[in-house]
Amino acid sequence: MSDSMRPPRHGIEGDRLSSVVERRARSCELSVPAVKVCGLTGVEEALGCAALGVSAIGLVFFRKSPRYVSDEQARVIGSSLPLGVCAVGVFVNEDYGTIMKKVELCGLGAVQLHGGEPVELVGALVGQGLIVVKSVFAHREPLIAGVAAYGAAACLVEGAGGPLPGGNGTVWNWGAAKPPRELPFVLAGGLTPENVGYAVEEVHPDAVDVSSGVEAAPGRKDLSRVKAFMDAVSRNRGDKTYRRIFG
């Protein structure tokens, strides 16, 4: 690991990552899957999502995305969120220094790595006390089967169809989302208010991630659809418990 990626000595060591995940899973249980609304670009919609009970909002730092936010946009949105709503920075193949700069500037509580990032980067970010969610895919690298090697707090699972690194609003075979049982996971890709209930019933993810499925236009969320999405998740939660991921 390069010096620029090396966490301070007081950070969490790599060989403790699995025990950290296990402790979080045992002590932080929810009665309903958490909801992360990704690709927000404005404060009012972020606050609207928070008022509806979302657990996290995603701020996309990938420049080719139609939902890309500048550092200043992300800082304003992040600083506006109430306690209990996590600002998640979404990155694609960025380096440690770039990610940490945005974490500090924008008040991010979690980092989602959505590209081909190395294991060492995950360890360095965890060492800074961050919640790290590693994205893995059914149809391209990095594959779902290899997620345990990263030592992340959780994984996000999607199909990876379409031209951009994200799910591109594409429905896929959610039943193929089978990460290691001990690792909390977020289900993403093609979820909408109309189908998320089925996905929760069939797959039992710890959290669900939605972007285009609740939009009026790219980056502009329709709060009536966000509410419908939240209601569908709650109605179909069943009698099981779900592991907390975002804080």
Give per-residue pLDDT as tens, 128-142.
999 999 999 888 889
Q: Please check the confidence at residue 170 and state whether its pLDDT lies above 80.
A: no
Mean pLDDT of the 163-189 span: 75
Provide the pLDDT for residue 139: 80
Is residue 81 classed exposed, middle or buried when 0-12, 13-18 and 19+ CB atoms within 10 A define those classes? buried
Q: What percent of the chain has pLDDT over 90?
A: 70
Residue 188 DSSP symbol:
-
- Which sign does the torsion angle of CA 15, 16, 21, 23 carry? positive
Task: Report pTM.
Answer: 0.85
Tell me what pLDDT residue 7 has. Answer: 46
15 falls in which pLDDT band (50, 70, 90)? Answer: very low
CB–CB of 89/59 below 8 Å?
Answer: yes
Band of residue 164 on the pLDDT scale cut at 50, 70, 90: low
| Alpha-carbon gap, residue 53 to 139, rounded angstroms | 32
**pLDDT at residue 211 is higher than 90:** yes
SS3 at position 136: strand
Q: 118: pLDDT confidence band, cut at 50, 70 and 90? A: very high
Of the candidate ranges 1-5, 50-54, 97-101, 211-215, the one whose mean pLDDT is the lowest:
1-5
